[in-house]
Amino acid sequence: MNDLNLKNRRWLWSIMILLLIVSLPGLSDRWKVEWQNNQYEMILPFNEIQDLTKDFGKDKITLAQALSSLKEAGLDTVSFEPDTLSELENQHVISILSQQNIKDLTLFNDEQLPLIKEKGVYITVPEDSYYQKQILNNLKNKKVKINNTIVYFIPDPKGDIRSTPIGYNQEAIQMVKDYGLNFVLRLKNSTFNVNKKMIDEVLKLDDEHLTSVLFSGSDVIGSPKPQEIKKWAKQLNDAGLSFYAIEFSDQKGMQTIAKETDYSIIRLHSLNIDKKTFHEKVDRATRAVKERNIRALFLHLDNGSSKESLKSATKYISQVKKEMPSLFVAGEAKPFDDISVSKWLVAVVLLSGVIFTALAAMEIMNKKIGALAAIFMGLVAVFYLLTSKLVFLQVFALIIAVITPIFAVLFKRERSGFKGITIHYLQAVAISIIGIIIVLGLLNGNEFLTKMEVFKGVKLVYIVPILFVTVYAFWGQILTILKSQVKYWHIALILVIAAVGYYYIGRTGNSGSVSELELTIRQKLEEAFYVRPRTKEFLIGFPFYMLALYVMSFNKKWGKFILIPGVIGFLSIMNTFTHLHIPLYISTLRTFYSIVLGFIVGYLFIIVFKFGYRYISRMVKARWP
């Protein structure tokens, strides 16, 4: 009967592996798309470049000098916000006067104020005819004569006229183009009429130097109305324009735009150029492009004198280009090519996931649990195939991600010695790779590459495997522990474990705190290996797993306890691949380093343990013969 069960399991393993081999073209497609999209761009806002021209005397810089220096350093693109009355006032193009200001001006003469009852502001007439036309064509206005001077009265019933977009500075855009730079237009969500006017202005440009738009503020144009978002996104996309998605900035409506435009999205990272953290910011920029599929770097100038700010910017841009890996080239950032993921390919991966879950449950629990697990996963798979709702796919992938590290460390261990430990280590790695391929095969496509959709349940992947292996290690002793008398040192131990657990969970995700020493070690590892292997994998998880295998050969109880930190390595490599916006080749290389280094460090752990165990044993025997 046991031989029959073994034979059946071998058949299941064979079928699952065959199904995964059939599904590999999907991952190959993603690898190719990521590898071929190797152009990145650096962007500076025009208003900050223009601010460089405000100093006088020896620090005076012309706009032409600033653009020329930045282009020579390697700047690719300049972004433009729509002009507003406030912006024109900052540029000293106009002066804005309130109704009270006008009253004050005429207080000491006999001139009668024009009878204008509505709420609004007065602005001086710009000297440049271009700005005169811009204001007259885009804002309701009345010419008013005050103190023999013509001013414009601009109605402002809502009190927002100062910040209302009135169009883009075409003269400045042409100047930027003359220096061989591309430009990006920023769009800010406003009223329907203003939004429509700005969209029309963007569409009229039809310029080869304009390929993408970037939204300002916390939402996209048209938000919160999905139909308006879709309508304008389609118009812009049909005109050949793509959209920037700002990393760590959840702009409302961006997902709607992404879906409407088949994920014509470019990931953008924003950072400030700071002399105090210059090298850190250079590393941050190169790492964003290399490790997170960022293809646009939006830079903000350092505060200071114009000459110092320009010098800092040109130095920074040059240094980023110098330190950027040779795979990447500066140029026009483009969205990723379409990753084709057919429904039948997803069905193949789902079937392999059902078999994988059944095998894991049979190995860890029993045959009956294995059958129930297969039925449950089969139902989740069917629900997805019938409804196409992503949530079912995400639930399925989460379950695979959680059980994979558990399956890897608890898979049957029948061999001992150097050869046996090596075989078991490779078996655990192979099981992890199978689980990773299933998760990647399910959550594949441009929606994940652009981080518009993500793997759900990262914290569970960190917590559940450790809890499960802990229960496994203490199984059979739980009732004894619960019945035992609680002592003060027990409470102290629980508090220590809770503190370690809190720190461990806090280290997950992007917001975890990291010490200066660890940052230095990370930097050195990255310099040595191109991508940094994770310390919790090759210094903690994998070595402790190998040590557990060794200890189990003569003391199963203590070996099981050592498996608890040992599972960290396997859950961590799964976690690496669930960050789906990270290039596949980066995650693969990082994991390869961790597996190899973890194997070496693991044997060092065993050697140290052997000598330490013998030394302590001799001391104990000598003292208590």
**Same domain, yes or no: 95 and 68:** no
Whether 501 and 418 map to the same domain: the answer is: yes
Cα torsion 436, 439, 443, 448: sign: negative
Assess whether pLDDT exceeds 80 at residue 515: no
Q: Residue 1 pLDDT > 50, yes or no?
A: no
Share of the chain above pLDDT 90, in %: 58
When pLDDT is averaged across residues 100-126 and rounded to a whole number, the result is 73
Tell me if residue 472 falls in helix, strand or coil.
helix
Instruction: State the residue range of the domain holding 545.
Output: 2-34+339-622
CATH classification at residue 236? 3.20.20.370
Residue 555, pLDDT > 70, answer: yes
Do 212 and 275 fall within a single domain? yes
Residue scoring higher pLDDT (300 or 622): 300
pLDDT at 490: 47
* Residue 353 · residue 400 · CB < 8 Å: yes
Q: Residue 97 — pLDDT band, cuts 50, 70, 90? A: confident
Q: Are 165 and 87 in contact (CB under 8 A)?
A: no
User: In which band, very low, low, confident or very high, does the pLDDT at 510 lie, cut at 50, 70 and 90?
Assistant: low
Q: Three-state DSSP class for 216?
A: strand
Q: For the chain, what is the domain count?
A: 3
Segment 66-87 mean pLDDT: 94
Same domain, 584 and 605: yes
Residues 6+ apart with CB under 8 A from 227: none
Nearest to 123 by CA among 138, 108, 107: 138
Instruction: Please indicate, yes or no, whether residues 220 and 90 belong to a single structural domain of this protein.
Output: no
pLDDT bin (cut points 50, 70, 90) of residue 151 is: confident
Choice between 118 and 401, residue whose per-residue pLDDT is larger: 401
Same domain, 380 and 232: no
pLDDT (average), residues 449-460: 94
As given in the structure block, the two tokens for residue 170 are 């075409």
d(CA 619, CA 320): 58
How confident is residue 141, by pLDDT bands cut at 50, 70 and 90?
confident
Q: Kindly indicate the confidence band of residue 3, based on its pLDDT and cuts at 50, 70 and 90.
A: low
Which of 289, 309, 330 is the last residue in one of the domains?
Answer: 330
> For residues 145 and 316, which has the higher predicted lDDT (pLDDT)?
316
Name the pLDDT band for 156 (thresholds 50, 70, 90): confident
pLDDT at residue 112 greater than cutoff 50? yes
Contact 409, 469 (CB under 8 A): yes
- Rg of the Cα trace of the chain? 32
Choosing from 122, 144, 163, the residue where a domain stops is 163
Of residues 437 and 275, the one with the higher pLDDT is 437
Same domain for 284 and 207? Answer: yes
451 and 563 fall within a common domain: yes
pLDDT tens digits, 303-338: 888 898 999 999 999 999 999 999 999 999 999 999
- Give the model's pLDDT for residue 139: 86
Q: What is the mean pLDDT of the chain?
A: 88
Burial class (CB in 10 A: 0-12, 13-18, 19+), 384: buried
Residues 436, 290 within the same domain: no
Residue 464: band (very low, low, confident or very high) from pLDDT cuts 50, 70, 90: very high
Residues 370 and 347 in one domain: yes
Q: Which amino acid makes up residue 540?
A: I
d(CA 42, CA 324): 12
Cβ-defined contacts of 507-516 (< 8 Å, 24+): 508/458, 508/459, 508/462, 508/575, 509/458, 509/459, 510/248
**163, 196, 213 - which closes a domain:** 163
> Can you give the pLDDT at residue 625?
58
Residues 493 and 552 in one domain: yes
Tell whether the model's pLDDT for residue 65 goes beyond 90: yes
What is the pLDDT at residue 115?
57
178/326 same-domain check: yes
